[in-house]
């Protein structure tokens, strides 16, 4: 990782500024060659803390309902069951990649050309989606992972090497020349992507990392995809329009929308799955209707969220009113109790005063009695 980090510092590629990650700051400690970032430490950075929780049946059902639109719900259940047996459980961070794999795999028949299919994922983290393709795809593929974070570059190779020992994995920093006929997967630093990937690829993938890139890096990647994707190739993006950078993305006008939809993975309101295909001609007219349908559904979803919020607000107001009434009753009862105690205290104070006066009288009478001289005793004659 130290070697990769040093190489990144020397790089001049516009793709080298892929991420805004300060590992020392994010991990709240000094990361060094002697104390590198561990895989477990990086997990939360790759997927987020909430994504590391085990999921219940309700969450599974959300994905099943969505994937049933594509006829993929049964296959989703099969993969979930298989992974649960393999890994001892299913986490939130497992569900999204399974969804993405299934939707992409279902559209591979649209891609012209011969095997292997070269898939290029930018910002693939530790390689979860790559693992699903290598484990379950019915197509012959070469999966290329491109990342700008040194820890991701190293750990994606290490993760796939340990999880899939039967596959052929290559890595740029192992001095292995990229050859899609030789490797099932190949790990490549972002700043070497242009020089290494000279040929065409069949699919470009990005999930939740373009949303963290500055505009110039996004433009550089879109230009790179446009150069490396032949006609008929696919592009798959899932990125929020309201996280880190608030913006919409301007895709080249020859990229045709096949799917544009919110998914159970959408963490913000405007967080669509965009599946597109490269065409020779402009696609503005076809895309317009798909984009309009998406924003109509987004408006409906937003209205539903507002209604749900208003219902929750009314419930909260009703609860607060009941709580205020309950507290007022408690306060009234408390005030009455305090008044009763004060009255009793006043009575006791008066009684104490009376007793104190009686004691003082007795003390005076005793003093007078003790002060009188005693009569001498008369002796009998």
In a domain, 256, yes or no: yes
Do residues 210 and 186 share a domain?
Answer: yes
Do residues 121 and 138 share a domain?
Answer: yes
In a domain, 365, yes or no: no
Tally of domains within the chain: 2
Per-residue tokens: 96: 């999204």
The per-residue pLDDT for range 202-253, each reduced to its tens digit, is 999 999 999 988 899 999 999 999 999 999 999 999 999 988 899 999 999 9
pLDDT of the residue at 20: 58
Do residues 248 and 220 share a domain?
Answer: yes
Do residues 157 and 40 share a domain?
Answer: yes
Per-residue tokens: 248: 């919409």
Do residues 239 and 321 share a domain?
Answer: no
Q: What CATH number is attached to the domain comprising 136?
A: 3.40.50.150
Do residues 294 and 200 share a domain?
Answer: no
Do residues 72 and 14 share a domain?
Answer: yes
List Cα–Cα distances, 89 to 15, 39, 126, 291, 309, in angstroms: 36, 19, 18, 37, 33
The residues that bridge with 206 in the sheet, in sequence order, are 122, 237
In a domain, 366, yes or no: no
Q: Of 140-144, 225-229, 368-372, which gets the smallest average pLDDT?
A: 368-372
Do residues 74 and 182 share a domain?
Answer: yes
Do residues 201 and 319 share a domain?
Answer: no
Peptide bond into 116 cis (omega under 30): yes
Per-residue tokens: 95: 């569900």
Residue that terminates a domain, selected from 224, 249, 282: 282
- Give the predicted TM-score (pTM) of the model: 0.81
pLDDT of the residue at 381: 56
Do residues 322 and 176 share a domain?
Answer: no
Mean pLDDT of the chain: 90
Secondary structure (3-state) at 278: strand
pLDDT band at 67 (very low <50, low <70, confident <90, very high): very high
CB atoms within 10 A of CB 235: 23
Do residues 15 and 100 share a domain?
Answer: yes
Q: Is the pLDDT of residue 12 over 70?
A: yes
Domain extent, residue 131, equals 2-282
In a domain, 377, yes or no: no
The per-residue pLDDT for range 14-37, each reduced to its tens digit, is 886 655 578 889 999 998 888 999
Higher pLDDT, 380 or 332: 332
Do residues 216 and 152 share a domain?
Answer: yes
- DSSP β-ladder status, 229-238 and 272-278: antiparallel
């Amino acid at each position: 990782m130290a070697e990769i980090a040093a190489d990144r510092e020397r790089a001049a590629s516009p793709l080298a500024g892929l991420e805004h990650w300060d590992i020392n700051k994010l991990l709240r400690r000094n990361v060094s060659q002697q104390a590198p970032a561990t895989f477990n430490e990086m997990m939360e950075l790759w997927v987020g803390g909430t994504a590391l929780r085990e999921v219940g049946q309700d969450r599974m059902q959300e994905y099943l309902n969505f994937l049933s639109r594509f006829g993929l719900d049964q296959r989703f259940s099969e993969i979930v069951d298989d992974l649960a047996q393999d890994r001892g459980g299913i986490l939130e961070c497992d569900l999204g990649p399974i969804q993405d794999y299934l939707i992409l795999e279902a559209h591979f028949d649209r891609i012209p050309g011969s095997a292997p299919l070269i898939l290029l994922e930018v910002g693939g983290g530790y390689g979860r989606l790559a693992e699903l393709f290598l484990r379950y795809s019915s197509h012959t593929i070469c999966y290329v992972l491109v990342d700008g974070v040194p820890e991701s570059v190293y750990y994606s190779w290490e993760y796939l090497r340990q999880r899939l020992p039967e596959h052929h994995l290559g890595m740029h920093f192992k001095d292995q020349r990229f050859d899609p006929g030789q490797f099932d997967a190949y790990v490549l630093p972002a700043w070497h992507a242009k020089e290494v990937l000279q040929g065409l690829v069949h699919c470009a993938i990005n999930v939740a990392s373009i949303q963290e890139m500055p505009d110039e890096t996004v433009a550089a990647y879109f230009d790179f995809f446009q150069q490396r994707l032949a006609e008929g190739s696919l592009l798959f993006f899932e990125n929020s329009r309201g996280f880190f950078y608030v913006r919409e993305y301007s895709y080249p006008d020859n990229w045709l929308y096949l799917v544009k939809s919110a998914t159970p993975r959408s963490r913000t309101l405007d967080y669509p799955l965009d599946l597109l295909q490269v065409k020779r001609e402009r696609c503005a007219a076809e895309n317009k209707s798909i984009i309009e349908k998406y924003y109509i559904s987004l408006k409906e979803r937003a209205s539903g969220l507002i209604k749900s919020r208003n219902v929750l607000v009314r419930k909260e107001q009703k609860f607060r009113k009941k709580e205020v009434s309950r507290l007022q009753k408690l306060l009234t009862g408390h005030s009455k109790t305090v008044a009763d105690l004060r009255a009793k205290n006043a009575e006791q104070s008066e009684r104490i005063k009376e007793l104190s006066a009686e004691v003082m009288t007795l003390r005076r009478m005793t003093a007078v009695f003790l002060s009188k001289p005693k009569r001498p005793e008369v002796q009998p004659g």
